[in-house]
């Protein structure tokens, strides 16, 4: 199968372009990614395409990235963020304004915290105190920990970011191809219902009604539940707070936190908290962070 990769930015329409590519490759075993029609790839595309390639390989398939027709701008960026090197072509260049493409097949807190701090927060772009950096790094780590603990991803977690000097925007995208936040919310709420029924606090009629409600819990509603104070599917305490605390920090700096999972999309800024339904399905979770450095 040949996939022509289009230009992909990081607005919702372009995220759904990525989800169309994923949908097209669900049963593919041999995939060729053609970049001849691509004029730009943002960090969300880099992290997602890398994860998709590893997912295809984990099913026994093969993936070929065809660099020959790639435009100079895209090629330079993929060299700088290390994506090309990750897929077998040794290229030595400076990293420029890229936060490197990183594959994390298993939970390695030391490596990931170094990535969050050194490659993302301590490059001189973001004017925050050492205490703020530690707090933000801890919240960002929770995103990874939740993915490793809950997603069940066979290929781990994928990250990439970028600093944009003209807009003073600093981004980081974290992608997993697991079961998604809405699935975990439904599963967690279902367990609570079963527990209530087993101890006699729910009648048979209520038990059946709640089970039906939970099974039909829309992706966007499940994401909204996940952002409510005190709500968490984490078994440990006080786990599950990272996303909410990260949202506070990002919105407090006029930034933007977006989460994509299944058909759901969450957008958190200092002016809005919206939870909407997408046209395309994403089988996992994407956390996309944008900070304004001015």
Q: In the 8-state DSSP scheme, what is residue 106?
A: S
Q: Is it the case that residue 49 has pLDDT exceeding 50?
A: yes
The C-alpha atoms of residue 137 and residue 242 are separated, in whole angstroms, by 10
Q: Which residues contact 275 (CB under 8 A, 6 or more apart)?
A: 220, 221, 223, 224, 227, 264, 265, 266, 267
Q: What pLDDT does 237 receive?
A: 35
Q: What pLDDT does 248 receive?
A: 86
- 3-class secondary-structure state, position 42: coil
Which strand (E) or helix (H) includes residue 252? helix 242-252
Q: What pLDDT does 61 receive?
A: 95
140 neighbors 161 (Cβ within 8 angstroms):
no
- 3-class secondary-structure state, position 104: strand
Q: Is it the case that residue 162 has pLDDT exceeding 90?
A: yes
Residue 58's alpha-carbon distances to 85, 154, 201, 202, 237, in angstroms, are 19, 8, 45, 43, 33
Q: Is it the case that residue 242 has pLDDT exceeding 90?
A: no
Q: Is it the case that residue 240 has pLDDT exceeding 70?
A: no
Mean pLDDT along residues 214-223: 92
Q: Is it the case that residue 215 has pLDDT exceeding 90?
A: no
Q: What pLDDT does 231 receive?
A: 57
Which of the four pLDDT bands, split at 50, 70 and 90, describes residue 232?
low
169 neighbors 120 (Cβ within 8 angstroms):
no
Q: Is it the case that residue 234 has pLDDT exceeding 70?
A: no
Q: What is the pTM of this model?
A: 0.92
Q: What is the dihedral of CA 168, 265, 178, 241, to 10 degrees?
A: 70
Both structure tokens of 292: 């304004």
Q: Is it the case that residue 245 has pLDDT exceeding 90?
A: no
Which strand (E) or helix (H) includes residue 160? strand 157-164
**Phi, psi (degrees; rounded to nearest 5) at 118:** -70, -45
Q: What pLDDT does 239 receive?
A: 41
- Domains annotated for the chain, with CATH where assigned, are 2-182+224-292 (3.30.565.10)
Which of the four pLDDT bands, split at 50, 70 and 90, describes residue 43?
very high
Average pLDDT for the chain = 90
The C-alpha atoms of residue 158 and residue 97 are separated, in whole angstroms, by 18
Both structure tokens of 186: 């439904």
pLDDT tens-digit readout, 146-161: 899 888 899 999 999 9
How many CB atoms lie under 10 A from the CB of residue 22?
A: 20
């Amino acid at each position: 199968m040949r996939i022509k990769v289009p230009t992909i930015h990081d607005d919702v329409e372009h995220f759904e372009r990525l989800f169309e590519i994923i949908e097209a490759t669900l049963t593919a075993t041999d995939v060729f990614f053609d970049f001849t029609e691509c004029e730009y790839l943002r960090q969300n595309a880099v992290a997602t395409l890398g994860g998709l390639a590893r997912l295809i390989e984990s099913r026994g398939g093969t993936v070929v990235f065809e660099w020959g027709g790639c435009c100079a701008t895209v090629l330079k960026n993929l060299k700088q963020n290390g994506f090309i090197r990750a897929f077998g072509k040794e290229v030595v260049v400076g990293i420029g304004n890229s936060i490197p493409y990183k594959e994390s097949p298993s939970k390695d807190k030391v490596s990931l915290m170094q990535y969050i701090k050194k490659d993302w927060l301590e490059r001189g772009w973001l004017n925050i105190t050492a205490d703020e950096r530690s707090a933000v790094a801890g919240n960002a780590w929770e995103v990874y920990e939740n993915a490793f603990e809950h997603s069940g991803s066979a290929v781990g977690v994928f990250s990439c970011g970028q600093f944009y000097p003209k807009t003073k925007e600093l981004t980081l995208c974290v992608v997993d191809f697991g079961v998604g936040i809405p699935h975990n919310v439904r599963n967690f709420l279902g367990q609570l219902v079963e527990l209530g029924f087993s101890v006699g606090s729910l009648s048979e009629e209520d038990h059946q009604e709640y089970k039906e409600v939970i099974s039909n819990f829309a992706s966007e509603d499940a994401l909204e539940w996940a952002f409510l104070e005190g709500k968490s599917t984490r078994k440990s305490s006080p786990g599950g707070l990272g996303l909410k605390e990260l949202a506070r920090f990002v919105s407090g700096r006029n930034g933007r936190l977006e989460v994509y999972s299944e058909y759901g999309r969450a957008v958190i800024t200092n002016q809005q908290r919206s939870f909407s339904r997408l046209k395309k399905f994403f089988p996992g979770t994407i956390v996309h962070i944008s900070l304004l450095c001015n």
